[in-house]
């Protein structure tokens, strides 16, 4: 707080105190405090007031790269969190010992209902380790010697990681050379299952190392790891590399497959819905048939006179090479001719999933047959003729 300081000491006269130019530029409260202090002190001793004006310049506080929280502060926060957790459990009438984080979240949502849309802005009560970012303690000992041998590079964790990976690479190359010299090179094993996982992203790596990285650093790191994978690794190296891979949920497994139902004749069929623009369709696909498609009780040749719409209906079957093998009965309402065709196509594709292998479902998903088309009619705006079309511009 850069406030002008008024120091007291020695002998002063009352007159001096009043007449002195007290340069309390801003804080009136300070003046009051000073007066009170003077009043309490005069009884004990006569004070001489020394006015020392402090030039208040904006001190250039070096913007800290990370907000520094001391270890004591974090420890205190953790204690407070644990005590608060127990209080909360008591408030909710639950057992404090068995109060988990989900219980805390539920309790907070109940006690502080918030209508805010931004989930991050809602009140939250989490363990301080998840709230305060991880920081580094002081990097050197009492004698000033840093702990890490790469301290003076600036990015010690990153460079030490690179050093270790490179060391592993050299060791493996040497091992392979030795095996090759003795002609004991084992056969090339199959490629590892790299499909279900992805490399760490730069932010995750930064979080892991608690250091800022540049894009080139990240790129070099990933390239080095990929080079490591091209050689044949032992179990330890595999485990080391797996630490830098994250699993990726395969999209097609989320695809909901309609269960197959059986009607009175014992014929298997499956029903599902589809939408496109404002058209809604519901289609029933029978397992065995001759390729007949009934739309709203009318044959598709009559309902869709335009070839393009019929092609849309046939596309899922054509994709799976099952053109004449299924019967379809569907109902559709709303939209126009093209929208209805698209809606039926989506419904048929979804229904077909139940008769088809998982791989083919994945292929259909990648072909875009199982994705509802999100495009809807854009509204007309005032001052324009249509959604995008502007009125004719006249120069004069």
3-state class of 272 per DSSP? strand
Task: Closer to another protein by CB, 190 or 215: give it.
Answer: 215
**What is the C-alpha to C-alpha distance for residues 338 and 333, in angstroms, rounded to an integer?**
12
Using CB under 8 A, which of 32, 86, 163, 261 touches another protein?
Answer: 163
Using CB under 8 A, which of 55, 62, 184, 256 touches another protein?
Answer: 62
Does position 154 bind another protein by CB under 8 A?
yes
Does position 166 bind another protein by CB under 8 A?
yes
Binding segment for another protein (CB under 8 A), chosen from 45-53, 73-81, 159-167, 265-273, is 159-167
| Residues in a beta bridge with 294 | 299, 329
- From the list 353, 278, 285, 355, the residue with the least C-alpha distance to 313 is 285
Q: Which long-range contacts (C-beta less than 8 Å, at least 24 apart) are formed by 217-223?
A: 217/155, 217/158, 220/162, 221/158, 221/161, 221/162, 221/165
Task: Closer to another protein by CB, 62 or 256: give it.
Answer: 62
DSSP 371: S
3-state class of 172 per DSSP? helix
Using CB under 8 A, which of 67, 72, 143, 183 touches another protein?
Answer: 143
Does position 140 bind another protein by CB under 8 A?
yes
3-state class of 276 per DSSP? strand
Task: Closer to another protein by CB, 6 or 168: give it.
Answer: 168
Task: Closer to another protein by CB, 118 or 143: give it.
Answer: 143
Binding segment for another protein (CB under 8 A), chosen from 19-27, 72-80, 126-134, 150-158, is 150-158
- From the list 78, 27, 14, the residue with the least C-alpha distance to 56 is 27
Give the dihedral sign, CA 233/238/241/245.
Answer: positive
Does position 64 bind another protein by CB under 8 A?
no
The 288-327 contact track toward another protein, x by CB under 8 A, reads ----------------------------------------
Q: Report the interface residues with another protein, using CB under 8 A.
A: 62, 138-140, 143-146, 149-155, 159, 163, 166-167, 170
């Amino acid at each position: 707080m850069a406030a002008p300081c008024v120091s007291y000491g020695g002998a002063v006269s009352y007159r001096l105190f009043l007449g002195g130019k007290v340069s309390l530029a801003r804080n009136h409260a300070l003046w009051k405090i000073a007066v009170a202090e003077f009043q309490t002190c005069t009884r004990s001793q006569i004070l001489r007031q020394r006015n020392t004006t402090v030039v208040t310049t904006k001190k250039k506080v070096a913007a800290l790269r990370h907000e520094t929280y001391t270890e004591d502060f974090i420890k205190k926060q953790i204690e407070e969190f644990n005590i608060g957790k127990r209080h909360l459990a008591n408030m909710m009438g639950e057992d404090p010992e068995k109060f988990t984080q989900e219980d805390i979240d539920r309790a907070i949502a109940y006690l502080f209902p918030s209508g805010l849309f931004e989930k991050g802005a809602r009140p939250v009560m989490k363990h301080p380790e998840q709230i305060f970012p991880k920081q580094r303690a002081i990097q050197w000992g009492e004698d000033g010697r840093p702990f890490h041998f790469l301290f003076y590079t600036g990015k010690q964790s990153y460079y030490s990681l690179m050093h270790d990976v490179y060391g592993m690479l050299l060791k493996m190359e040497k091992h392979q050379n030795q095996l090759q010299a003795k002609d004991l090179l084992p056969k090339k094993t199959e490629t590892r299952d790299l499909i279900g996982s992805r490399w760490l992203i730069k932010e995750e790596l930064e979080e892991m190392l608690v250091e800022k990285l540049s894009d080139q650093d990240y790129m070099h790191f990933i390239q080095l790891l990929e080079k490591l994978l091209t050689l044949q690794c032992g179990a330890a190296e595999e485990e080391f590399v797996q630490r830098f891979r994250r699993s990726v949920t395969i999209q097609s497994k989320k695809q909901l497959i309609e269960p197959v139902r059986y009607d009175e004749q014992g014929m298997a069929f499956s029903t599902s819905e589809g939408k496109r623009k404002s058209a809604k369709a519901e289609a029933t696909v029978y397992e065995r048939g001759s390729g007949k498609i009934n739309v709203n009780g009318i044959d598709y040749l009559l309902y869709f006179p335009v070839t393009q719409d019929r092609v849309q209906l046939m596309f899922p079957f054509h994709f799976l090479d099952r053109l004449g093998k299924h019967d379809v009965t569907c109902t559709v309402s709303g939209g126009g001719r093209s929208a209805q065709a698209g809606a039926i196509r989506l419904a048929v594709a979804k229904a077909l999933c139940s008769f088809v292998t998982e791989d083919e479902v994945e292929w259909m998903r990648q072909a875009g047959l199982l994705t509802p088309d999100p495009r809807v009619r854009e509204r007309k705006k005032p001052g324009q003729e249509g959604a995008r079309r502007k009125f004719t511009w006249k120069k004069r």
